[in-house]
Each structure stands twice: as structure tokens, then as C-alpha cells.
Structure 1
Amino acid sequence: MTLPNSPLLVELKDLSFGYGDRVILNDISFGIPRGKVTALMGVSGGGKTTVLRLIGGQYKAQQGQLNFDGQDVGQMNTEQLYAARRRMGMLFQFGALFTDMNVFDNVAFPLREHTKMSESMVRDIVLMKLDAVGLRGARNLKPSEISGGMGRRVALARAIALDPDLMMYDEPFAGLDPISLGTAARLIRRLNDSLGITSVVVSHDVDETFQIADQVVVLANGKVAAQGTPESLRQTTDPLIHQFVNGLSDGPVHFHYPATSVAEDFGRASA
């Protein structure tokens, strides 16, 4: 078992998980260091978001362990799991804001739901979190009145409202313009360092993610294909990692789904 004073906040040990006969993660092991930004990368369907769900306890490992601060998430009872989740923040892919609430009430929601703070204290905390993401002046706007990038920042303010130990980001850069994307990336890094939290970022954006990550874990074919610093992965000679990092069409990951030859298929159609 991981000790509470371990340098790893999250540790996957010989973990396997799948849906029916389809294996998603096959006997994988890696750790997420405290106070660092860890990026989970790899091709679509490689199990990155599944890892986030395993950390949050939505899924349970079928084999092996997933430890959060020394405790096996899969063995937690309901009370222990809820306590662990209160130490986690989650930024969903498209923000998932409550559309009938304004910006202020979206950020205030977890404080009102999980604490007994006075409204004056809730107000102060909400304004501080909105100020941290540059949106204190947008407190009275509805989600429909702000841009997608701003909505993602409101969702981030909501996710850090309870001062989590662990922040998880599921494709935080998807659908953002270059300015919003760069702003979001720098914000993730700045909040991680200023708040002293641990961050896990699931992303396909190699350039922005490599700029903010301390370590990168690449998942492929149910395994950990590579793990290391962004610089070490850029210099790797592994064909799959080289193809992924450089966005190449030719390599171990094929563009075409396996099929019979073109000549055979078209010949059969014209026969």
C-alpha cells in the first residue's frame, strides 16, 4: 500500500479494467506525483478518461489497485469515497455548467452543497476563485452570455472552490481558439503551483500539454507505452511515440481500418 507521506498522491498498481470482453487497461502501473502536472496522452479510446473515472471511483478496477493518498479507491465504502471525492476537483470536457444559474451561483454550488458556510463567506470565496481565473466581473452573467473559453474558466473556478488536493482535467483544450487555449494551459500550470495541488490533464494537444506538464504518460493498446518528461518523449526513438508526438500519418497506428485489398473489394462489387 502507498503510504500517506509517499511522493505519489495517486498510484495504479497492476491495474486492469475493461467493458465485457473488451480490455481497456491491461495490467498497468504508474504514479502521479504530488504537486506536479501529469499529462495522460495517447490515441482515442486508449483509456485516458477511464483512468480519471477509476480515480474518482465511478469505476472499480477488475484487477490490481488504484490508491489515492494511500487508500485503495476500489475498497472504499460510500462514506470514504465521498470524503475522497471532496478532495478532488474535475473539469469536464465542455465545462458542464448549470445553464439556469449565473456564473456566481455555478461556482457557489459545491460550497453550498458540501459545506455549512455562511453566505457572506461563500461570496468571498466565490469572488476569490473567479478572480483567480480572471472572471470576477462576469459573476452575474449566464453561461449563454459568455464564450466557450470563458465558460471553461468558470467551470475551473467551480472545480477549485473546495480547494482540492487533486485536479483532473478531461480534454481542457478541446474546441478552444488559440488565445483561449494558451490562456487555459497557463492557468492550469499557475493554479497548480500557486495552490500547491496535483494535476492530471487528459489531452491530445501535444504542444500546449508538453509546455505545462512535468511528466507525460502515454497509454496505447491497454498498456503504458511511454512515461517520462516531455523532453524525453520528444527525443524517443520508439516508433509509436514518435508518430504520436509528431502527428505523423504513417506509423504503428494505421489510418485505414483493416480490410481486404482494394482490388478484391472493387473487383467483387463489379463482378
Structure 2
Amino acid sequence: MANTDDRAPPLVSLRDVHFAYGERSVLSGIDLNVHRGQVVAIMGGSGCGKTTLLRLIGGQLKASAGVVEVDGQDVGKLGGSALYALRRRMGMLFQFGALFTDMSVFDNVAFPLREHTDLSPAVISDLVLMKLQAVGLRGAAGLRPGELSGGMARRVALARAVALDPMLVLYDEPFAGLDPISLAIVGQLIRRLNDALGASSIMVTHDVHESLEIVDYLYFVADGRIVARGTPDEIRASSDPFVHQFVNAEADGPVPFHYPAPPIDSLLDVRLP
């Protein structure tokens, strides 16, 4: 796990962040910090705003109110060229990998290097093979995504996400759809690559138990707010009702099973005899 200096400014800082899609409020006063070297998980029920947080950090969306800072820069105030330069220092692993299906594994990983650097083909080739070696797939360089298993595809996507040695890597559901072995492998790679690069990582995920093994800190989101936070040990020991329900996958708790609706009896005009 990362040894961080809490006195140092965080790499990512969200302060009283609000966001809405039209009239529908999604985030209401989010405060969140990610320090250098940390792997941080953001958890919560579907539709609670987790992926929206990643988009705010990456600058795809702008907060309705509050401040989103990355490496001391107010993301919401950056112009096009400055935002582009900041994004070059970030990596992104999309849900289910999002590999280019008409490119080989090698070309998928080489893509950001070719787009964003002036490196020679020989240097790019060496870097791509190094990244694939790090995820155990150097031998698959010539394959197409359609020839890969789900776990292999996710590892290629991880190699692509770290191709430019980013300071920050964003993961949107990195464990979705993986079998237990692939899930554990990807989790270990996220931790190892983060530490090897000296980067910071933010994971949006539903996988509590794998996250508790690899992250430094967790945030739980519900109703657009941070409702719980802590280290893995603090989360395991927590008596907070929301944390207990989420960690133990219980149907009954602060997160209701039913979406708000009038009592069903009031809608039934016909009763059985």
C-alpha cells in the first residue's frame, strides 16, 4: 500500500462539487481527495454518480458548482489546449476495455504513443512490448481483440491506459464481467503498476472484496453525497449501516430495494373476491 504524506497537497481534490443533468441532481456537495501514490475506490449503487465523478476529473463534464482540481489546476476553468495537456498526463481504462477491434493488441497499446508523442517507431515498439510484458501479454502482441478472452482484453486495455506513464489513472468498473481468476489478476496489476509508475489511481467499482485487498482508501456515494469513507481496515470494522449493507450485499438497509412509488394498494381498482 502507498505511504502518503497527508500534509502534501492532494493530486486530485473535489470541494463541494455539485452536478446535475438538466433538472436531475446527481452530485450534491462532494468532497474527495486523492493523494499521490494512492489507489482509491469510489463505490455506491448504480446511478449514484460514480462515473460522473470520473468525467468531472477528466474534464469531459464541468461541475455546476464547486471546484475540481487535478495537480493544482482547476479543471473546470481550463481552456482547450490546457485541458488537452492535462489529459495527456492521465490514463483511462474504460468499462469492458473498449479496445479498437480492427487493430492488433500491439497497435492498441501503441495508439496513445503514436498520437501524443514524436517517438521513433523503434522506441514505440520497445515501450509497447515493455507494457505488454508488464501485463503478461507480450506473446499476444499480434492478436486481434476478438481473439482474446475477457480477462486478456482487460489486461491489454490496462497496458494501453499506462502507455504514457500517466500521473493519474482512472478506472471505470475494471472488474466488470471478469471471472474470479482474471479479476484477481487485474486487481493485482492495478496495484503493482500504480506503485511502479509512482502514479495515483481512482477506481469506480462494485467489487468490494477485491478493492479492500488493493486500495488505500474508499469512498461510498449515495444520493449524490459521500456517505462513508475510510481505509480498508476502517471499512471492515465499520458499523455504519450503509457500509454494512454494501459490503455484505444485503437487500435491506439505507439503500432501498424499491424505487419511490405510491403504495400499490392505491393503484389497484380491482380486488380479487
Pick the TM interval, shorter chain.
over 0.9
- How far apart in 2 are the matches of 1:260 and 1:47? 25
Q: Residue 40 of structure 1 aligns to which amino acid in structure 2? A: I
Change (3 A) 1:270 1:264: farther
Please name the residue that 2:59 is paired with: 57
Please name the residue that 1:133 is paired with: 135
Change (3 A) 1:159 1:268: same
Name which of structure 1's ranges 21-30 and 72-81 shifts more when overlaid on structure 2. 21-30
Please name the residue that 1:157 is paired with: 159
Please name the residue that 2:174 is paired with: 172
Please name the residue that 2:79 is paired with: 77
- How far apart in 2 are the matches of 1:82 and 1:268? 61
- How far apart in 2 are the matches of 1:231 and 1:248? 20
Q: What is the TM-score when the length of structure 1 is the normalising length?
A: 0.95
Please name the residue that 1:223 is paired with: 225
Q: Residue 29 of structure 2 aligns to which amino acid in structure 1? A: D
Query: Once the 2 structures are TM-superposed, how far is the Cα of residue 46 of structure 1 from its aligned partner?
Result: 1.1
Query: Once the 2 structures are TM-superposed, how far is the Cα of residue 99 of structure 1 from its aligned partner?
Result: 0.6
Q: Which runs of 5 or more structure 1 residues have no equivalent in the other structure?
A: none
Q: Which runs of 5 or more structure 2 residues have no equivalent in the other structure?
A: 1-6
Any idea what SS the aligned residue of 2:164 has? coil
Name which of structure 1's ranges 173-182 and 224-233 shifts more when overlaid on structure 2. 224-233
Q: Does 2:39 align with 1:37? A: yes
Query: Once the 2 structures are TM-superposed, how far is the Cα of residue 231 of structure 1 from its aligned partner?
Result: 1.7
- How far apart in 1 are the matches of 2:113 and 2:202? 23
Aligned residues: 267
Query: Once the 2 structures are TM-superposed, how far is the Cα of residue 90 of structure 1 from its aligned partner?
Result: 0.2
Query: Once the 2 structures are TM-superposed, how far is the Cα of residue 242 of structure 1 from its aligned partner?
Result: 1.3
Name which of structure 1's ranges 72-81 and 250-259 shifts more when overlaid on structure 2. 250-259
Any idea what SS the aligned residue of 1:243 has? helix
Any idea what SS the aligned residue of 2:165 has? coil
Any idea what SS the aligned residue of 1:13 has? strand
Any idea what SS the aligned residue of 2:191 has? helix
Q: Residue 118 of structure 1 aligns to which amino acid in structure 2? A: S
Please name the residue that 1:236 is paired with: 238
Any idea what SS the aligned residue of 2:12 has? strand
Q: What is the TM-score when the length of structure 2 is the normalising length?
A: 0.94
Change (3 A) 1:167 1:269: farther
Q: Percent identity?
A: 60
Q: Residue 44 of structure 2 aligns to which amino acid in structure 1? A: G
